[in-house]
Structure 1
């Protein structure tokens, strides 16, 4: 995929939702510039940092080799496992069922404004954010409303 789509060649961050332990979703941000895997978790009570590190370690170990396939320069990091961060400022969702849509909204917020922008994805605005997301997806695939 990276070799076929040249727009990815200059990307600094890669985002994807990650289904943790068949329970709930988190957002994974692989940040090439800081050499860090950032986990944006809207329900930190379900997994300790140790447990989450164990879940994310394969990504942190594998991603450097994936980046190398795109012929990116590593500098002094060649083959080193990426670091791990799990910011505590992410608003928490009590309902595990909200984690999937929260992970998608956290991708959007983090891509636009970093961890500080993720603070706006709170339980009280989740419904309106979901409506906005659905309209955006509809307009992107079908056309303007």
Structure 2
């Protein structure tokens, strides 16, 4: 079972043990933290048994799924693995060293001002270089571009035609959604609260051809969340188990009580948004109970807070293909090499 700190939101959710982490002064929510107690070990519903491990790597034999193998495949030209060492295959099907591919990509990057990919999403030359160097926190613009790129990756079919049952939304959705909470909390009848059409359009993916419907085509919804504009986490919203799994690569930045306070708007409002949107019968009949919130304590931890943005992107990839256990197996020491692979893939998809 994956070890978690359960943050006590939702149907009969247990309380939790607050670990010694620093709180932030920022708090845009009103609900108080729950009682402090002891949380049992829980599974995220999409992972292998981790034998109750805390703070050590899995000794199980790694099994690479075809989804993981094919995640960075573009028109059968390029193959990269997130979190795993692998060669890159060029058009002639000859193995190319990833570092060589990256250096060639850098040469192309220096000759252009920006790259466009995934339906017109664009990143400037400077954005890409900032992603490589990470001397400051990734901006929402860069994160959202990577989120849309991730959606493209996770839409890649398996060789047997299977698809991952996941959806990915960006920080624009999260920001607009959380801004509804003050009005929502004052509304005497929550079921009658009307979310703005612009929000339901973002949820449905109006005008975007690569979107799928929640509940029918997606069991997990992934969201980026930023604390204080300094700390990114990935949220895995489990639509079957009705919980939000916080994939946090720098847990010392927030106590569990602070995580609960700041994610409470999402946990409480999401069911009402789903009910109002009602894109399909399963969504229209969903429960209105708040989502429970869990933060697994075995997620790999990055040394620099400036790495939480890009690491959150990789955590979305790994959780989508193998759950918490796959996240645990991500080699933090290989983060920079994975960033280089990602940059090479971005430039390739951009047509350069």
Compute the TM-score of the two structures, normalised by the length of structure 2.
0.38
Q: Greater share of strand residues, 1 or 2?
A: 1
In structure 2, which of residues 264, 273, 280 is the aligned counterpart of residue 57 of structure 1?
Answer: 264
Q: 1:119 aligns with which of 318, 323, 328?
A: 328
Unaligned runs of 5+ in 2: 1-201
Cα deviation, residue 38, structure 1? 0.8
Aligned to 1:19: 226
If asked which structure has higher relative contact order (CA below 8 Å, sep 6+), I would say 2
| 2:101 counterpart residue number | none
Q: 2:338 aligns with which of 123, 129, 132?
A: 129
Say which one has the larger Rg: 2
Distance 2:297 2:281 in 1: 31
1:29 to 209, 216, 236: 236
Between the aligned partners of 1:14 and 1:124, the Cα distance in structure 2 is 28
SS in 2 for 1:135: helix
For 2:320 and 2:290, the matched residues in 1 are separated by 23
How many corresponding residue pairs? 143
**CA distance, structure 2, for counterparts of residue 22 and residue 131 of structure 1:** 24
CA distance in 1, matches of 2:301, 2:346: 25
Is the Cα contact below 8 Å between 1:92 and 1:122 reproduced in 2?
no
- Segments of structure 1 that go 5 or more residues without pairing to the other structure are none
Deviation at 1:121, TM superposition (A): 3.0
> Alignment RMSD, CA only?
2.1
Could you give the per-residue CA deviations for residues 96-124 of structure 1, whole angstroms, max 9, x where no partner exists? 00011001111111111100111233431
1:64 is displaced (CA, Å) by 1.1
Q: CA deviation at 1:8?
A: 1.9
DSSP-derived class of the 1:73 partner = helix
TM-score, reference length from structure 1: 0.87
Residue 16 of structure 2 is matched in structure 1 by: none
